[in-house]
Amino acid sequence: MSTIQAIKGTRDILPGEVIRWQQVEAIAKAILERAAYREIRPPVMEFTELFARGIGEATDVVSKEMYTFPDQSKKQRSLTLRPEITAGLVRAFIQNKLFAEGSVQRLWHIGPAFRYEQPQQGRQRQFHQLDVEVIGSRNPRADVEVIAIATDILQALGLKSLRLDLNSVGQGEDRQRYREALVSYLTPYQDELDPDSRDRLTRNPLRILDSKAPRTQEIVQSAPSLLDYLGSDAQRHFDQVQQQLTALGISFQVNPRLVRGLDYYTHTAFEIQSDDLGAQATVCGGGRYDGLVAQLGGPDTPAIGFAIGLERLIILLEQLQRQPPPALDFYLVARGGKAEAQSTVLAQTLRQSGCSVELDLSGSAFGKQFKRADRSGAVACLILGEAEAESGLVQLKWLASGEQTELSQAELYAQVPDLLATIHPLRADAIS
RNA sequence: GCGAGCGUGGCCAAGUGGUUAAGGCAGUGGAUUGUGAUUCCACCAUUCGCGGGUUCGAGUCCCGUCGUUCGCCCCA
């Protein structure tokens, strides 16, 4: 087979699916703008160093999943296709000195990210995220705002039975003390841990907490809890987040074993999961990252954000089976030289006055054209044959009822506002 | 990186070693030279992802390879 195909783990989003993506984008944008978030569009490539420093050299994402390559310059700079979006946004924040514009920046971005992994359900090499960040506030209300936006978006899309898991991973010193406690608890069980976890005991012990290996899970059950090691600041912050979530009626469960895989998280960490996604259950993940901006060379600035995985979201929406019908006002049928010529003008004129019109280009028998009209999803059909073309008339046929009237083309144009007023409620009926 | 399943026309598929590869949907042309969810007819895979092997004979068995799906790892 010599035809060129899409790269493994990438795929075309075809016209039939794009409707869903647009729906997600429209709802997300509306909700974000209501909360005064502004869109930002950073590049998809960055210097490799940004991710190495920002996400952490030891993380799986940086150590084995990045698309990294030298560019064509003499210097052979090392570039990387972004494996996540936050680091690039923070870079943009620092470089453009957005911190000078005001104390808090609320930003959002939708776009692709890239990781070299084995594809499976809900996981691709090129995938898309909706990324939302609040940079410049240490207040727990910022955490709550961000979480509320995430749940609002998912709810507005009609998704139910999602779980919100919440945890606090504390600050630097808290986590250091906990880490030591965890290691000393786990070391006696060293030989019973699964190989991956044994490996992490020295490198990244916190990640052992959410291992799926059954024996490891048993051992971890009675391990010391991160929550017992939170300092008073961290504890107060976490309490306030919980209280306010409750006040907003957002239900959640505290999961002391929720640990996120990127090094930059502090304090609040959260995940929204679904049971309908197979192994990749997380639709939304996020948390606070108070140290990242400074770590990347900016002023000491706290921040919190999340990312929603759009492919995973789309999978859930498909399960809801609510496919909006194609939005088309008129299907224009024409047959015969003069009629076909006129139909182009008719279509153009109607489009310019606000109608959506699909023009049948085949010139085939009326029967065939009506069949296509039927399938197009149009509300009404306009018919232009030789007789109409000669006398400046057009037939208007309502496809649902079969009712048909004849009118002059001039009358048709004059009636456009009335027709649209009739057609759009019909379309709305079809959706609900 | 590891493990398992699957790859037959645009789509869904039957076919498990024996002459010309079912069927359905969609598409095209016609019955109906101007009226659509009905009907009828015709056309639509020199070939079963690709390469090699076993065999008198392979879509069917074996090996490799690519793709895909699900899982591990990890994450959105």
Residue-range domains of chain A with CATH? 15-171+231-319 (3.30.930.10), 328-431 (3.40.50.800)
For chain A, list residues with pLDDT below 50. 1, 431-432
Distance A11 CA to B14 C1' (A): 30
Angle at A65 between CA A59 and CA A67, to 5 degrees: 130
Report the binding-site residues of A: 84-86, 115, 129, 133, 260, 264-265
The CB-side HSE value for A248 (13 A sphere, CA atoms) comes to 19
Report the DSSP beta bridge partners of residue A110.
A130
Q: Which of A348, A411, A413, A422 minimizes the C-alpha distance to A379? A: A422
Q: What ipTM did this prediction achieve?
A: 0.85
Residues A129 and A67: their CA atoms lie apart, in Å, by 17
Which tokens is A261 given? Answer: 């895989």
pLDDT of residue A327: 74
For chain A, how big is the Rg over CA atoms in Å? 28
Annotated binding residues of A for L-histidine, written as ranges, equal 84-86, 115, 129, 133, 260, 264-265
Gap from A17 CA to B40 C1', in Å? 36
- Write down the pLDDT at residue A309: 96
Q: Are the C-beta atoms of A388 and A339 separated by less than 8 Å?
A: yes
Q: Which residue has 């296509």 as its token pair?
A: A372
The tokens for A177 are: 């003390």
Query: Order of strands across the sheet with A328-334?
Result: A357-359, A328-334, A378-384, A393-398, A404-408
Q: How far apart are CA A93 and CA A86, in angstroms?
A: 10
pLDDT (0 to 100) of residue A324: 58
Alpha-carbon dihedral sign for residues A34, A246, A212, A263: positive
Hey, how many other C-beta atoms are within 10 angstroms of the C-beta on A282?
18
- The nucleotides of chain B lying under 7 Å from a protein CB are 1-3, 27-37, 49-50, 66-76
- In this prediction the pTM is 0.88
Do A208 and A186 form a contact (C-beta atoms < 8 A)? Answer: yes
Residue A1 is predicted with a pLDDT of: 44
Structural contact between residues A116 and A66, judged by C-beta atoms closer than 8 angstroms: yes
Q: What is the β-pairing status of strands A105-114 and A78-81?
A: unpaired
* Phi and psi, residue A215, nearest 5°: -65, -40
Amino acid A110 CA to nucleotide B17 C1' distance, rounded Å: 55
Is A187 within 7 A of strand B by CB distance?
no
pLDDT at A430: 57
Burial (CB count within 10 angstroms: exposed 0-12, middle 13-18, buried 19+), residue A430: middle
Q: Which of A386, A380, A387, A367 is nearest to A418 (CA)?
A: A380
Measured CA to CA, the distance from residue A77 to residue A317 in angstroms comes to: 41
Span CA (A384) to C1' (B23), Å: 39
**A373 CB contact with strand B at below 7 Å:** yes
Separation between the CA of A411 and the C1’ of B40 (whole angstroms): 41
